[in-house]
Amino acid sequence: MAVNFEVPLSGGDVSEGVVRVGDTVRRPLGAHSPAVHGLLRHLEAVAFDGAPRVLGVDGRGREVLSWVPGEVPRRPLAGFVVSDEALRGVGRLLRRYHEAAASYEAPEGAPWDGETSNLDGEPEVIGHCDVTPENVVFRGGTPVALIDFDLARPTTRLFDVVTALRHWGPIADPADRDALLYRVDVGRRLRVFCDAYGLDARERREVLPAARVRFERSYRAMQVRAEGGGVWARMWRGGAGQRIRRAQDWLERYWDELDARLW
């Protein structure tokens, strides 16, 4: 019998105790896990290949997900991660995910992660809500899967797009960006992403206003989470709130330029 060692995984900064065991990933369960598993099972039922499969819960009370083969970006980000091709790929992947998730009828009162920010529109879909580079699996330079659905919850497609753009534009002060993204033309990148996603004109007009609202909500939500201690408090002490404030200032300062580039 093959012995499967536990290999710690540390791509993101939130979950402690994420490990790889053979072709599986074991992650701590949370209150939101049953809701997330329902979503992942739906994605499997509609044959969406861009997400891990749920395989169950192990003897140590951890969720068991399938290992998605490929490469997950690490910091500092490599050139292929900041390319236009990657940007288009993530836009298309998010669109395909939304199409697959749209037919999911989540059980009433499903315990999604609740404290994160949101916009005010009627929810249209269970969004991934955390499409960071660390949560995308690449294969041969192409984004092929989303992982880490811990923050998934009912939201609008626009909110999910804006969250992705926060990281992939990135909508961030240059001081807080990865080196290879320091000088990029963010407005152009927003347009490349929106084109690949297929965002229509009405929604595109809402991108920057949605980013503005989202930043303020994220700041508050993160502050509340940080008060609860743990990893969130550590992120807050590490300057997460200040980074949001700098991003807000940057967005307001370059608003017109970004807006002009979106079209």
Ligand X SMILES: Nc1ncnc2c1ncn2[C@@H]1O[C@H](COP(=O)(O)OP(=O)(O)O)[C@@H](O)[C@H]1O
Residues forming contacts to Mg ion in the complex (CB under 5 A) are 12, 134-135, 148
* Cα–Cα distance, 185 to 60 (Å, whole number): 47
Residue 222, H or E segment: helix 207-227
Which of the listed partners (ligand X, Mg ion, none) does 206 bind, with a CB threshold of 5 to 8 Å by partner kind?
none
- Compute how many other C-beta atoms are within 10 angstroms of the C-beta atom of residue 248: 18
| Orientation of helix 186-197 relative to helix 240-261, angle to 10° | 80
Decide: is 63 part of the binding site for ligand X (CB under 6 A). no
Q: Point out which span in 66-74, 80-88, 100-108, 238-246 binds ligand X (CB under 6 A).
A: 66-74
**Of positions 48, 67, 80, 255, contacts ligand X by CB under 6 A:** 67
Q: Which is nearer to Mg ion, 72 or 207 (CB)?
A: 72
CB of 200 to ligand X, least distance (A): 31
* Cα–Cα distance, 107 to 54 (Å, whole number): 18
In the range 108-147, which residues lie near ligand X by CB under 6 A?
Answer: 134-135, 137, 147
Burial group, residue 171, by CB count within 10 angstroms (0-12, 13-18, 19+): buried
Q: Which is nearer to ligand X, 72 or 240 (CB)?
A: 72
CB of 234 to ligand X, least distance (A): 13
**Of positions 63, 113, 148, 178, contacts ligand X by CB under 6 A:** 148
**Of positions 72, 82, 192, 199, contacts ligand X by CB under 6 A:** 72
Give me the helices (H) in 103-206, please.
Answer: 157-168, 186-197, 201-205
Query: In terms of Cα–Cα distance, which of 127, 52, 140 is closest to 89?
Result: 140
Which of the listed partners (Mg ion, ligand X, none) does 9 bind, with a CB threshold of 5 to 8 Å by partner kind?
ligand X
DSSP helix/strand/coil, 28:
strand
Residues that bind ligand X (CB under 6 A): 9, 11-12, 14-15, 18, 25, 27, 52, 65, 67-68, 72, 134-135, 137, 147-148, 150
